[in-house]
Amino acid sequence: MHIAVLPDVSQCVGPAARMLATGARTPPPPLYTVRDAADSVARAASWPHGERGAQMTDFEYGPAEFIVAQFAGDRPSPGVVQAILDLVDTGTVRLLDLLFVSRAPSGEVQVSEFEDVGDEFGFASITLEASGLAGAEDVDDITELIEPGTSGAILVLEHIWAKDLANRFFAAGGSVVHAERIPAPVVNAVLAEAAD
């Protein structure tokens, strides 16, 4: 199984937030841009601590991440299914959205919604927290990562620990202004080289 992270996920934050509110699978016209979000954060940062705390004491959702897992065959193996179930059971992440993609050797792509195949694939115990968060444009971009003759799972995960951290920063008068994920292979390669 191969796992990748969709490049530059930040570009889909605006459409994804709007789809979360509307439940739509197709992104609506731009109404709230990343610049708008940045302005809102700047205004919030200038509020007196007491006023800001009264306005917002908890984020409903924390940072979300698109993860793409590629595997052989036309459906996830029992091991892949169990890995996802075990991840959710840890309580450190919430599964917001989950889709499955199959790419034929000819390149033809089929996207299966969780609601249509989840029970069949072994996910009967899972409830998605924000089905539809991965929009059509997001899925189109991600399917390009799936090699012909293989399948994949598109997971949108919310990092609960990061939400809790953001809440505490915000309550203390701070905010998270940047976060960057370094892929595990890169971390391991760098540290292995440093140890030599």
Q: How far apart are CA 27 and CA 109, in angstroms?
A: 20
pLDDT tens per residue across span 79-100: 989 999 998 998 888 999 999 9
65 within some domain: yes
94 within some domain: yes
191 within some domain: no
pLDDT tens per residue across span 149-176: 999 999 999 988 888 888 888 888 888 7
44 or 148, which is more confident: 148
Q: How far apart are CA 186 and CA 83, in angstroms?
A: 22
Q: Tokens 């989950």 sit at which residue?
A: 98
CA distances from 175 to 38, 53, 61, 94, 96 (A): 12, 13, 15, 22, 23
Structure tokens at 58: 């908890």
Overall number of domains in the chain: 1
Q: What is the pLDDT of residue 50?
A: 44
- Look up residue 63 and give its amino acid: P
State the Cα angle at 133 between 97 and 78, rounded to 5°: 15
Q: What is the pLDDT of residue 95?
A: 92
Structure tokens at 183: 């892929």
Mean pLDDT, range 49-77, rounded to an integer: 73
58 or 173, which is more confident: 173
Q: What is the pLDDT of residue 57?
A: 55
State the Cα angle at 126 between 60 and 150, rounded to 5°: 110
17 within some domain: yes
What's the whole-number average pLDDT of the chain? 75
194 within some domain: no
- Look up residue 26 and give its amino acid: T
Mean pLDDT, range 108-134, rounded to an integer: 91
193 within some domain: no
User: Is residue 52 scored above 80 in pLDDT?
Assistant: no
| Structural domain span for residue 157 | 2-186
Q: How far apart are CA 88 and CA 84, in angstroms?
A: 6
DSSP category for residue 78: H
Q: What is the pLDDT of residue 1?
A: 53
With cut-offs at 50, 70 and 90, classify the pLDDT of residue 29. Answer: very low
